[in-house]
Amino acid sequence: MATNNTFTLKSNELGGQLNNKHYINGMGFTGENQSPQLYWEHAPEGTRSFAVTMYDLDAPTGSGFWHWVVFNIPVHINELPSGAGDTAKQLLPESVVQSITDLGTPGYVGAAPPEGPAHRYLITVHALSQPLELDKNATPAFVGFSMHFATLGKASLLVYGQKQ
């Protein structure tokens, strides 16, 4: 019997929808602004670090919205605990960088979709051939550009969020 060793991203707390803990506390939401628990398995050979991103594909900006950009996750780590995106909690090793989001602050910023159809949130783990030589002030676009040249593989979850 063949085994499936595909690079895969999973979560023990996410289904197909974000829940209140993943929404921002503000902008008409009473969420907990807590990043989701994530774990991954079967990283590609040659992986030396990981990055995780969360992106709203449907934000009414013309360019989407980056909710979380975290990189230089050591290769021996394959899980981010719930709330790891809160930089004050220091739940990640010192080498891990949480750069700025499209809100202009480092760490996780919860979902805040406006009234209307559900938004798609793409959460991706990137297996990288090397750590990135960037700091917490790197913009999401520059982190993405830098990752492009070091990405060995990606695994994603697509979840939905909608203003109730």
Distance CA 90, CA 106 (A): 13
Domain membership flag for residue 144: yes
Number of structural domains in the chain: 1
Angle at 111 between CA 109 and CA 115, to 5 degrees: 145
User: Can you give the residue range of the structural domain that contains 61?
Assistant: 8-161
Angle at 83 between CA 12 and CA 131, to 5 degrees: 90
| CB atoms near residue 94 (< 10 Å) | 7
Domain membership flag for residue 23: yes
Domain membership flag for residue 106: yes
CATH number of the domain where residue 124 is located:
3.90.280.10
pLDDT, tens only, 14-38: 989 999 999 999 888 999 999 999 9
- Predicted model pTM: 0.94
- What would the mean pLDDT of 57-70 be, rounded to a whole number? 94
pLDDT, tens only, 99-146: 999 999 999 999 999 989 999 999 999 999 999 999 999 999 999 999
Q: Are 69 and 53 in contact (CB under 8 A)?
A: yes
- What is the phi-psi region of residue 126: left when phi exceeds 0, alpha when psi lies from -120 to 50, beta otherwise? beta
